[in-house]
Structure 1
């Protein structure tokens, strides 16, 4: 009967069902991807001619979709010849585009696809084979030729992000290939000709927190949305325009990671085009995330190499490097933290401060005690964790540990993936696997958190409380959710996702600094988040902060 059902289901229901199936466990996902790979290898895409791709009835959208299937099914190396063909056809077809027209948006998406395919090569630790070398060099040549074509025809060049990413992977996998110091020398003249002076009115509204020697605003820009095209794709030019706006209003601290797609490269390219007096105000925060046993012993040279890699991508200093470790039973992480703190003193031009990322309370305290014994100081300045009115697990143990050792919390998920916003007030629960819902990966993740915390009805109750308080203070609903988190003990800053080049919510986010919750406001919010024992229930169900990343 299953065969009959599958053959008769409408495509939208079939897609929704498949998403639900592969989300259940790693085994289902692995079977799905392997089956797709077998079928794709048996029927690889054809290579359209330049006139077919970009002619009167262009097929570039379908061709890009077929390439996307390859690299998202773990066939990144196989996808490279198709990207090379696509890029080579642009000058051959004499393709022309204008700002924000259909073709330019498609080329920006193609650029994002190349970035994600190359990121897959990085994260899979691809071996330096002759085949991969040839394909990467050919891809680099094709993309350089596209730059020449764009510039000679006065077209906005849409592939800078891909260009930076390709050069970065060549540097990593084939260090014998000479790669120019592209982050320092690749001048795009995007910001240098603009007025990037701060807006004194916006700056006056800000609140700040001290992280060691760093003074930072209490809202960070989060670039995790560069880790997937699910949030949309924009050119480097458009991304830098948004970064300029954030800089003008004083939101100078930006959080990224080595696995957030090309986030370090994108932000490094931005920072290194700023006038020195402006770039000195920028706070670039990245991460070193160790998700499995390291391929090298945890020696001082190994740690320094990791720091240098992130500094190289950023084209300068990492103001705050946040460290994540995969297994608390593997105690190398304690010695690594000691080495990281030493590097802040021996190589201050590489990194200024060290924090943690998704450490639980027990091992945050273990790290602090170990560092005190070994170095005479705690050293680490922060721990980045999930914290919101929905996920208030930090109230159980984490806040007390941080207060004891002077560690500040940098919180993400404080808007619960956007569910703590007016958009979802008085709305029905979404079908998270349907295309109509148009949910991002973050929203699917936080929808699960809502279900662990309570029901959709409970969320509506919370949203109504947030709305009443927001109306009372003439701010946005999301501002109230962020303010509650900022008022919690040891919280240093809230990290707000930034869809750079696609949307900009800085004007709304700044309202949080004018909001003062009174005792009644706080009591109502505490009742929703704390006094119903929801934090204790979540703690028992999914463990302490960060535990969900180690299961």
Structure 2
């Protein structure tokens, strides 16, 4: 499969918009002791900064932060190499304490290692990670274990594909299944196609349903718990739409669910039948960088 076929026009427009945002954001950075300089190459990643309360947000237009250590500012970056540039500010008192924490999004293993080797205290990397997409466990998890960086996952329920809604459905037959009516569903359907196709995905859903029924929970609950139990994973983001799909009960059930050895083995057996997405697509975030 052509890697570019995994990217919808929406994703391509999104990448272009992120590049424009990068130019606008980096132009606003002033009087910062340590700045990340990213060489301009056809690679797209994100960097996040957690900033203190009542401090000007570096690279942003906000002037007040309601709580310390809770606001993440992120901008897209295009990089292959990372150059750490130290600047001396004419007003050091304005710089002190401004940057609390650096977090990353969609950095692959190679570039995560580069930024760590340059002494940047990264606390987490936000990556796509699901039972279908196990790429973070193949290379990045080992680096994270060695360095203490935590993984925050997204796409863990694949925009809703990993749910009862799509169990026993035939998307190849017009109007025979739920519509893929969001960019997220369309994106993760392409991931399913790259991994092993809809038939194998149905086998995965059936396996997850058996595990879910055994524990009295839903398929999404099992899917998220399985990923939370993986090496270096500290948290998972589940997108909600207030009044439409809040997932409160499913989310609460994650914390009491314990998957036993039989559960894990049955899920792993199906997962391993799929293609190696690291070979098909590349490392974490490569599907965006190749746009």
TM-score band by shorter chain is 0.7 to 0.9
**Structure 1 position 533, deviation (Å):** 6.2
CA RMSD of aligned residues (A): 3.9
Equivalent residue number for residue 547 of structure 1: 286
Q: Which runs of 5+ in 2 are unaligned?
A: 36-54
Q: Equivalents in 2 of 1:299, 1:363: separation in Å?
A: 22
Q: Mean Cα displacement is larger for which, 504-513 or 386-395?
A: 504-513
Equivalent residue number for residue 109 of structure 2: 361
* Contact map agreement 1:361 1:545 (CA 8 A) in 2: yes
**Structure 1 position 317, deviation (Å):** 4.0
Equivalent residue number for residue 301 of structure 1: 31
- Count of aligned pairs: 258
**Structure 1 position 500, deviation (Å):** 2.9
Q: Equivalents in 1 of 2:281, 2:175: separation in Å?
A: 22
TM-score normalised according to structure 2 size: 0.75
* Contact map agreement 1:385 1:410 (CA 8 A) in 2: yes
Compared CA separation, residues 401 and 353, structure 1 to 2 (3 A): same
Structure with bigger RCO (C-alpha 8 Å, 6+ apart): 2
Classify the secondary structure of the residue corresponding to 1:301: coil
* Contact map agreement 1:319 1:353 (CA 8 A) in 2: no
**Structure 1 position 507, deviation (Å):** 1.8
Query: Residue 532 in 1 paired to residue 273 in 2?
Result: yes
Compared CA separation, residues 542 and 381, structure 1 to 2 (3 A): same
**Structure 1 position 356, deviation (Å):** 0.6
* Contact map agreement 2:6 2:187 (CA 8 A) in 1: no
Classify the secondary structure of the residue corresponding to 2:221: helix
Equivalent residue number for residue 472 of structure 1: 214
**Structure 1 position 301, deviation (Å):** 3.1
**Structure 1 position 475, deviation (Å):** 1.1
Q: Which has the higher strand share?
A: 2
**Structure 1 position 353, deviation (Å):** 2.4
Q: Which has the higher helix share?
A: 1
| Residue 492 of structure 1, aligned match among 193, 209, 234 | 234
Classify the secondary structure of the residue corresponding to 2:118: helix
Q: Equivalents in 2 of 1:491, 1:511: separation in Å?
A: 18
Classify the secondary structure of the residue corresponding to 1:353: strand
TM-score normalised according to structure 1 size: 0.41
Compared CA separation, residues 403 and 533, structure 1 to 2 (3 A): farther
| Residue 381 of structure 1, aligned match among 123, 140, 143 | 123
Equivalent residue number for residue 45 of structure 2: none
Classify the secondary structure of the residue corresponding to 1:503: coil
Q: Equivalents in 1 of 2:130, 2:282: separation in Å?
A: 16
Compared CA separation, residues 24 and 323, structure 1 to 2 (3 A): closer
Equivalent residue number for residue 96 of structure 2: 346
Q: Deviations over 1:103-136 (max 9, x none)?
A: xxxxxxxxxxxxxxxxx9xx99xxxxxxxxxxxx
Q: Equivalents in 2 of 1:410, 1:464: separation in Å?
A: 27
Q: Equivalents in 2 of 1:431, 1:305: separation in Å?
A: 54
Q: Equivalents in 1 of 2:207, 2:105: separation in Å?
A: 31
Compared CA separation, residues 398 and 291, structure 1 to 2 (3 A): farther
Query: Residue 331 in 1 paired to residue 74 in 2?
Result: no
Compared CA separation, residues 306 and 294, structure 1 to 2 (3 A): farther
Compared CA separation, residues 323 and 400, structure 1 to 2 (3 A): farther
Equivalent residue number for residue 445 of structure 1: 187
Q: Equivalents in 2 of 1:297, 1:548: separation in Å?
A: 27
| Residue 164 of structure 2, aligned match among 417, 422, 429 | 422
Compared CA separation, residues 24 and 549, structure 1 to 2 (3 A): closer
* Contact map agreement 2:82 2:115 (CA 8 A) in 1: no
Matches within 5 A, 1:75-154: none
Compared CA separation, residues 454 and 509, structure 1 to 2 (3 A): same
Query: Residue 413 in 1 paired to residue 155 in 2?
Result: yes
Compared CA separation, residues 440 and 293, structure 1 to 2 (3 A): closer
Equivalent residue number for residue 400 of structure 1: 142
Compared CA separation, residues 357 and 313, structure 1 to 2 (3 A): farther
* Contact map agreement 1:430 1:437 (CA 8 A) in 2: no
